[in-house]
Structure 1
């Protein structure tokens, strides 16, 4: 979450220091959290005893893939002087994007625990992933032919949670690191407790998907 703000500050201020900082942080976060086998990120890592948390929570993956896009946007202006950071973050992002594509449901959405089909379809991870992948295709970081149909499917799935009165359904309430899949599955989706992040992520997804469709 924090990388998104710092990356935007780096872009706005054209600050080499800020951009280098967020690039380093992105590389470090993903070094500890990203699973090299499926490309997804774990919700947490305990360095004291060197173990990952149980699960790959949806919104944790949503924030991570969003942060990678923001860092890449910030790095673009500086990639000639930070080539290894650019290529490193781009590889992290593309690996994550490929992993998310693998676990997209048949109706286009992603799940509360991304790689666990027993968990419910969740709105914020769907919106954040759609937003990030749409931006990446528009920027040319992902192949349009491969990802375009999956973005269309994600938008179709996302529309199903939007009510006529503006209510956005299916957004998991704020969630700390849990001990098992079942604990994530129990996390509720009350609109009054989750509307800010839910509505915001859907608005971002709508804008970035529109830009993709009009590229």
Structure 2
């Protein structure tokens, strides 16, 4: 990796206080019927529904507001990760070509904010592409950004305050644990340079120490929610927020060097702890809801949270981290729930819009990260199907 190390050295100088429960009507919260059947639990059916979801999203992508306004942002960034996984599983160049065309238009650049975790989410797929095609132009902007951040770490507060820009320079919201760490673990594995993992581990642990509730084994979305409570008096733990974390942990474990013994134990322990907690919070309908501890206030399905949790749990089973006899029934039910939310044309519904806490979700709602999570889950489910 001498070339990559040279690039790294050469480019390093470059440059709501209270929740409002919007109670949905009965019509808006009617869940798709979920019955665990063998019909959806075989590899061909997984391939078929994943292709349908991927193709619908590609067709709809040009009309998406975030695809048009922020093509390097985190919203499409999460889709790109799922689409890349699907391209690998399907071995269909159509999906690689679609991604490559988008990335070439962006000159393989990350988004503009130097420190912001959201603005490097896309780099995870850039690095995956580099590992496949060995084109250094795919990697140069990512290394430039990562080196600058690592060499000039922020000392901003961990208390999130959007009126103070310095508080979004750190990983002060739990979503960030999906957006950024996987960039640094990939660079660490690719280059062998420990500085990337040293930085990522320090930032992750700072977030963990501040936002992780050691009693509930869940992450607050950010510091603004420490004292807030749901209608039932429980703490506010956002479904997708914790989905981001379990999905991010899977990405960390997947992309760390297989031989690593320094960092892996902490992340694996946290992954197992959160997996056990999340498994117990699955709804009877198979979904993880917008509010993890007050699903009765948000009874509608929520497929982005469900997609990321199913992805994480299925990955854990496939790697032998989670016992199949305990977790496979949960994953099966979650997958059936996800499939039930796919319309005939491939649109994935019941996706909570961009936000930071539990909100009402309706069937027609979708967003790019929803299909991204679905495709990531599908690629792990494929390995489990027919078992």
Q: Identify the TM-score tier after normalising by the shorter chain.
A: 0.7 to 0.9
Paired position in structure 2 for 1:125: 305
* Aligned pairs, number: 200
Return the match for 1:108 from 283, 286, 295: 286
The structure with the larger Rg is: 2
CA distance in 2, matches of 1:185, 1:22: 31
Q: 1:17 to 1:73 in 2, by over 3 A?
A: farther
Residue 73 of structure 1 aligns with which residue?
A: 254
Partner of 2:61: none
Return the match for 1:52 from 199, 206, 226: 226
Cα distance 1:172–1:22, how it changes in 2: closer, same or farther (>3 A)?
same
Q: 1:15 to 1:106 in 2, by over 3 A?
A: farther
How large is the Cα RMSD of the aligned pairs? 2.2
2:211 pairs with 1:30: no
Counterpart for residue 173 of structure 1: 353
Give unmatched runs, 5+ long, in structure 1: 179-183
Q: CA deviation at 1:126?
A: 0.3
2:135 matched residue in structure 1: none
Query: Partners of 2:185 and 2:364 in 1: how far apart?
Result: 31
Write out per-residue CA displacement over residues 81-105 of structure 1, whole angstroms, 9 at most, x where no aligned residue.
x1xx322222211111111011001
* Gap change, CA 1:44 and 1:204, over 3 Å in 2: same
Secondary structure at 1:130 match in 2: helix
Q: Secondary structure at the match of 1:77?
A: coil
What residue number does 1:195 align with?
367
Q: Secondary structure at the match of 2:253?
A: helix
Match of 2:272 in 1: 94
Q: 1:205 maps to what in 2?
A: 377
Higher relative contact order (CA 8 A, sep 6+): 2
Report the alpha carbon displacement of residue 76 of structure 1 after superposing the two structures with TM: 4.2
The answer to whether the 8 Å contact 1:22/1:71 transfers is no
Gaps of 5+ in 2: 1-178, 229-235
- SS of aligned partner of 1:169: coil
Cα distance, 1:190 vs. partner?
5.1
> Secondary structure in 1 aligned to 2:350?
coil
When residues 190 and 156 of structure 1 are mapped into structure 2, their CA distance, relative to the original with a 3 A threshold, is closer
2:306 and 2:334 in contact (8 A); partners too: yes
Q: Under a length normalisation based on structure 2, what TM-score does the superposition of the two structures give?
A: 0.48
